[in-house]
Structure 1
């Protein structure tokens, strides 16, 4: 490695201050997943909500998590280069429209490509506004979301309203992308899950959900997570891109074209969000519907923050939000009611940890809230439908509130930058 590349590496991997969280390695992620599965198994046995980790529940959670994860992955690309992309929601909207528009006419894979292009155009516009003209990143992102909402609503009147089976608010039906089910293994795991054994059946349910009715586009989306990690953390290109988000002045002094890397990162960010939107239209529902993104771009941004701007952590966050969202679709109030017990147990663990850290006020608050949740769980059989519908968004707020204290964003994330300003 050359001296200049070593210096860029130092700029991109500056030491953490303020007790930033450690990066999540693969063994740590696997331990977190195993621990979470044990906890879910315990809650399932106590509550009797046997659908909590069923094959159908896990498969549904994965399908709901993919668009969120793609949006979060897009946010990671952008913010690692120093550009806040709150316009992910708008870029997803563009992906849903263009994906459906091309998909019902020329096939689902063409729809996927056009959805990516639509999102990438939104990302390119965001890059022009923020990188070239130095407009505030938040203002630009909000404006792009508003623009995308209005533009797709306008275009739908001319494209879908006249098409057979469509209307001004939805597209005609789009042909489905092929799905994969591994025969034998899928049935065996489903039978094992149906026995409701502690942990073993829960593990079978999770694995069964990963090999049953898996869309080919889901496989592509899952592969993009390790691909992003490899590109951004194991290549010279990724090193230079991340240096633009840590210290663009130092990167420029070493010959890095900061504008170019920011443009690439934000355009890729939009393309990934557009892919998430195309997934919603083509795989999740099979049609375009006005407003179908439902804030998933913002939830994807929350998943990225929860994951500490790392692909593995982001994937965990997307999985959590997708699972919470799927609870209301299968079993609804019963499954969400069981989650009260899960939250209560987690808060007990948090109270013990805070006591160990000698933070007595935090421990007391966690213990009081945990007791309240236990009382709520014991005193009710099901939850109001309004709470069930709000569960994904409540989870988003709770996760951000609990994880935000030990995060470390890229140092120059959201900061204005002009070429040559370090001279």
Structure 2
């Protein structure tokens, strides 16, 4: 019988000798960034960058990104690259809206999850059983999902009151709730404008204000996924399939079964994110409403180094930058330019200390350009504000690329018995 210890031994340890980012160091970095943000807020007067409303909007926008990223995490930990997250999100939006319109929003959540899981099942069949390239399969799934939902909408929503071939009729809301007392107290602290205290109050206030029940469920899936994948024998076996499937099979692990389960669960998470978009974010299905969030979720997963906690931070970052275009975008993004300048100056000092002269010089030039832009302008053009989430996605991936370590067998074809 395969034991947890046996399967754990079958996994390949990360190489390279790079020091792992520990929790205390990560918390110290987060505290330092919060202090810098508070300084920038007080210097620029842009109180909106840490307001409760800003953080609440950021959380709502981060949820579908985080769920898509969590789906990618489950699949890739089992060795299957899931570029099809965008398509699974699309399926979740349509099935969630269709069932939500018919039988209510909670049914929409269930069917959105099922719709995404069906997309995951198709991706698993194509990649695991038929050994098709994972990238090709994912791209094909994205195209198929878009075409399928467009076709279904023409005879499902068209002709119905409030519906067209590109959108559903309005769906009943799940409703929202606010934690009494705690939310008001944090809002009061946030309004005072105190250094750091008000910023922390705004951050925490966004977690307790105007919450959807589905938001609470989505946030809970992050620690739940961590516990399952890193603290259970099921999770250890699943991860061994993404690290060394030959060794895992030699210890009695059914690699095909775990890959299938992982990709189906992956699709379920993405479908849940799609249901969130159509049931919570807008209470309506609208063609194209995913807006590339599946790809951004994949970027959040990579930024988080294939770990749930890092993924959550990445989703929060992308959700926050996306929320800037909704609430005081030009002014807030202009204030954050100063924060970026400070971070680049710190990076220059670090690079020069490491004697990386070329990289330090380039970073210094970038800091000078951004500082000039900040000093010569009062706010950022609206077009740039709209592009901020995508610019941040590219920057984060470029800057974090050197510390990334994907599962060793991620994306590699595997056939049963190949190690025999």
More off after superposition, 352-361 vs 222-231: 352-361
What is the Cα deviation at residue 5 of structure 1? 3.7
Partner of 2:7: 8
User: Structure 2 CA distance, aligned partners of 1:29 and 1:18?
Assistant: 20
1:347–1:367 Cα contact (<8 Å) kept: yes
What is the Cα deviation at residue 23 of structure 1? 5.2
Query: Which ranges in structure 1 are unaligned for 5 or more consecutive residues?
Result: none
User: Structure 1 CA distance, aligned partners of 2:46 and 2:305?
Assistant: 32
What is the Cα deviation at residue 32 of structure 1? 3.4
User: Structure 1 CA distance, aligned partners of 2:265 and 2:234?
Assistant: 14
Partner of 1:186: 183
Partner of 1:417: 414
What is the Cα deviation at residue 190 of structure 1? 1.0
User: Structure 2 CA distance, aligned partners of 1:404 and 1:341?
Assistant: 24
1:127–1:263 Cα contact (<8 Å) kept: yes
Residue 213 of structure 2 corresponds to residue 216 of structure 1? yes
User: Structure 1 CA distance, aligned partners of 2:22 and 2:129?
Assistant: 34
Q: Deviations over 1:196-223 (max 9, x none)?
A: 1111111111111111111111000010
- Residue 206 of structure 2 aligns to a residue whose secondary structure is helix
Q: Deviations over 1:283-302 (max 9, x none)?
A: 11111110000000000000
User: Structure 1 CA distance, aligned partners of 2:325 and 2:78?
Assistant: 36
More off after superposition, 330-339 vs 393-402: 330-339
**Counterpart selection for 1:330 from 327, 330, 333:** 327
User: CA separation of 1:107/1:24 partners in 2, compared to 1, >3 Å: closer, same or farther?
Assistant: farther
Partner of 2:147: 150
Partner of 2:64: 67
**Counterpart selection for 1:340 from 323, 337, 340:** 337
Partner of 2:120: 123
Q: Deviations over 1:245-264 (max 9, x none)?
A: 00000000110000000000
User: Structure 1 CA distance, aligned partners of 2:14 and 2:61?
Assistant: 34
2:119–2:267 Cα contact (<8 Å) kept: yes
- Residue 179 of structure 1 aligns to a residue whose secondary structure is coil
More off after superposition, 52-61 vs 2-11: 2-11
User: Structure 1 CA distance, aligned partners of 2:322 and 2:22?
Assistant: 24
- Residue 352 of structure 2 aligns to a residue whose secondary structure is helix
User: Structure 2 CA distance, aligned partners of 1:199 and 1:86?
Assistant: 39
1:20–1:407 Cα contact (<8 Å) kept: no
What is the Cα deviation at residue 37 of structure 1? 1.6
What is the Cα deviation at residue 4 of structure 1? 5.3
Aligned residue-pair number:
420
Q: Deviations over 1:301-336 (max 9, x none)?
A: 000000000000000000000000000100011111
Tell me how large the CA RMSD over aligned residues is.
1.3
**Counterpart selection for 2:374 from 374, 377, 387:** 377
User: Structure 2 CA distance, aligned partners of 1:179 and 1:417?
Assistant: 46
User: Structure 2 CA distance, aligned partners of 1:108 and 1:24?
Assistant: 40
Partner of 1:22: 20
Q: Deviations over 1:84-116 (max 9, x none)?
A: 000000000000000000111211110000000
1:19–1:406 Cα contact (<8 Å) kept: no
Partner of 2:286: 289
Normalised to the residue count of structure 2, the TM-score between the two structures is: 0.98
**Counterpart selection for 2:111 from 111, 114, 130:** 114
Q: Deviations over 1:326-378 (max 9, x none)?
A: 00100011111112111111111111111222212111111111111011111
User: Structure 1 CA distance, aligned partners of 2:131 and 2:18?
Assistant: 29
Partner of 1:401: 398
1:23–1:310 Cα contact (<8 Å) kept: no
- Residue 233 of structure 1 aligns to a residue whose secondary structure is helix
What is the Cα deviation at residue 18 of structure 1? 2.4
Residue 352 of structure 2 corresponds to residue 351 of structure 1? no
Residue 257 of structure 2 corresponds to residue 270 of structure 1? no
Structure 1 stretches of at least 4 aligned residues deviating more than 4 Å after TM superposition: none
**Counterpart selection for 2:315 from 318, 339, 350:** 318
1:74–1:271 Cα contact (<8 Å) kept: yes
User: Structure 1 CA distance, aligned partners of 2:2 and 2:297?
Assistant: 37
1:21–1:406 Cα contact (<8 Å) kept: no
